[in-house]
Amino acid sequence: METSGYPEASPERRYKVKRKRILVVEDDRLGLIVLRQLLTAQGYEILQSSEGWDGINRARNEQPDLIVMDIKLPDISVSDATLLLKKDDQTKAIPIIGVIASSTPGDETKAFKSGCAAYITKPVKIDELLRTVEFFLPSSSP
């Protein structure tokens, strides 16, 4: 329906304008599926990796708008991965949200010291995840 003299954007056009890319680095297959489905349902394009080193390489090569990374990865600690990403000119501006299995004061401190911009705890609460992602990727920005 046309109301302002301009044709209304198609749903596909609006979707493409909003679409931001999120790299999810999670070694737990079920956790990866859940995060991917939740974020895809919100209109985000999801890149994924189940290993830390692969996640680092994907971040460098694909330049996502945001990274959601499990704190405990089998091949590299999230602290080391985050430090590497934050020292790299190609990836240092990408915000990283750490996903922590159980939150202790040490986990929070470790996440922030390594360069995570925020963290969320498992089991992931949908509203908390979406609020945190929206903080870093506001839907009003193209």
Q: If pLDDT is split at 50, 70 and 90, which confidence band does 114 have?
A: confident
Over 90: is that where the pLDDT of 66 sits?
A: yes
For 119, the token pair is 């963290």
Please state the domain extents for the chain.
20-133
Arithmetic mean of pLDDT over the chain = 84
pLDDT at 103: 62
Q: What pLDDT digit, counting tens, does each position of 23-51 carry?
A: 999 999 998 999 999 999 999 999 999 99
Confidence of residue 110 (pLDDT cuts 50, 70, 90): confident
- Among 98, 101, 97, which Cα is nearest to 122's? 101
Confidence of residue 135 (pLDDT cuts 50, 70, 90): very high
Quickly name the fold that domain 20-133 has: Rossmann fold (3.40.50)
Average pLDDT rounded to a whole number, residues 66-81: 89
pTM of the entire structure?
0.82
State how far the Cα of 82 lies from the Cα of 91, in Å rounded to an integer.
10
CA angle 134, 12, 8 (to 5 degrees): 100
Is the pLDDT at 57 greater than 80, yes or no?
yes
Residue 10 confidence (pLDDT): 47
Asked if residues 17 and 43 have their Cβ atoms less than 8 Å apart, the reply is no
Q: Which pLDDT value is given to residue 13?
A: 46
